[in-house]
Amino acid sequence: MGEIDELQKKAREIRKHIIKMLGEAGSGHPGGSLSAADIVAALYFHEMRLDPDRPEWPERDRFILSKGHAAPVLYAALAERGFFPVEELMTLRKLGSRLQGHPDMRKLPGVEMSTGSLGQGLSAANGMALAGRLDERNYRVYVMLGDGELDEGMVWEAAMAAAHYKLDNLAAFVDHNGFQIDGPIAEVMSPEPVSDKWRAFGWHVININGHDIGQILGALAEAKNIKGKPTMIVAETIKGKGVSFMENQVGWHGVAPKPDEVQRALAELG
């Protein structure tokens, strides 16, 4: 098996975990978790320098899930990477669980920032990237934003700051799946033209298919070679990717599958 095949397999495993976790919990956000699975798989199983036995290792790369409601995709990746037992995934959203509805950095190893209130992740990432420069460490910082999240004004303040400070150790993704909780982004509050906006704010912009592992790896490699500015990878994705009855359906933004739907989804995911 080649590396791309292995990463595709990891992404499928992550998607299966997402479905099982949400089915067990009876609540949560499948659509935007599934759309992000390929990118998260590429980061955690190819790109990022991590040590699950030392989650506070100063030289580690950092990932911030700014769209914190997609916590299941992060939890699945962390468990598969060895930060905590895979069996614990089934405690999602249960009373007393470390796997809360949104990630909590005080509870779960591997979570770099407590997120959920949209718009804040990029600002925190700027701080981590600046700290890396000041401490003369060569770690990189990765962030994932939702396209609906781009409605938040704080995102654009952070965008200006990252370019101003020439944070070339920072790379961000927009999970551009076209939907937010209230409907299509084009109808709720269009952020278009997304790529042109980030370029205008001083970022290096790369456009990819966010489900093509080869394109994801290529973009990550390109980002590492960019000097003097941060990189934004605009990833075209499908909300609910991998489960036919969830794909491009805004109703699956924040509704968990019922037991029969869990079985149908898992059958499709192999």
CATH number at residue 151: 3.40.50.970
pTM, full prediction: 0.97
Buried b (16+ CB within 10 A) or exposed e, 162-188: bbeeebbbbbbbbbbbbbbeeeebeee
Question: Contact, 29 vs 254, CB < 8 A?
Answer: yes
Which pLDDT value is given to residue 162?
Answer: 98
CA pseudo-torsion sign 171, 175, 176, 182: negative
Task: Give me the pLDDT at residue 183, please.
Answer: 94
Report the C-alpha gap between 91 and 102 in whole angstroms. 13
Q: Tell me the average confidence (pLDDT) per consecutive run of 10 residues in the chain, 270 residues long.
A: 93 98 97 98 98 97 98 98 98 97 97 97 98 97 98 98 98 97 95 97 98 98 98 98 97 96 97
Q: According to the model, what pLDDT value does residue 259 have?
A: 97
Query: Amino acid identity, residue 28?
Result: G
- The pLDDT assigned to 1 comes to 67
Predicted pLDDT at 17: 98
Contact 100, 107 (CB under 8 A): yes
Number of domains in the chain: 1
Containing structural domain, residue 30 = 3-269
